Amino acid sequence: MTSFPITDPLTRLHDGLVLALEAQNISHTAIQALPDSGLAHAHLRVTLASGTTWMARLPKQSQMRLAAEENLTYQRTCFARCQPSGNTPQLHHVLPPNEDLPRGGLLVEAIEGRPARLPEDLPAIMATLASLHALPLPEQAHRSPLLAPDSPWQAMLSEINTQCDHLASAGITGESQALIETERRALESFVSSVSAPTTVSLISFDAHPGNFLIEHARHTQTGQPPRAVLVDLEKCRYGLPGFDLAHATLYTSTTWDIASYAVLTPEEVVSAYRHWRAQMHAAGADEQLITPDTLMQARRAMWLWSVSWCAKWLALNQQTQDTGHSGEDWSGELSEEALIAHVRERARHYLSTESITCVTSEWHQLASALRA
Res 88: pLDDT? 97
Distance CA 3, CA 15 (A): 17
Residues of the chain with CATH 3.90.1200.10: 114-371
Q: How far apart are CA 275 and CA 279, in angstroms?
A: 6
- Average pLDDT by stretches of 10, the chain with 372 residues: 49 88 93 89 94 95 92 97 97 94 95 95 97 95 95 96 95 96 96 84 97 79 83 96 97 95 95 93 75 90 98 91 79 87 95 95 84 76
CATH homologous superfamily of domain 10-109?
Phosphorylase Kinase; domain 1 (3.30.200.20)
pLDDT score at 4: 41
Give ∠ CA 357-362-368 in degrees, rounded to 5.
150
**pTM for this prediction:** 0.93
Residue intervals in the chain for CATH 3.30.200.20: 10-109
Q: What is the pLDDT of residue 187?
A: 96
Let me know: does 230 contact 204? Beta carbons within 8 Å. Answer: yes
Tell me the DSSP string of 260-302: G-----HHHHHHHHHHHHHHHHHTT--GGGS-HHHHHHHHHHH
pLDDT of residue 284: 79
Contact 339, 60 (CB under 8 A): no
Kindly list the distances between the CA atom of residue 20 and the CA atoms of 23, 107, 325, in Å, as whole numbers in the listed order: 5, 11, 17
Element at 68 (helix H, strand E): helix 68-82
CATH topology of domain 114-371: Aminoglycoside 3'-phosphotransferase; Chain: A, domain 2 (3.90.1200)
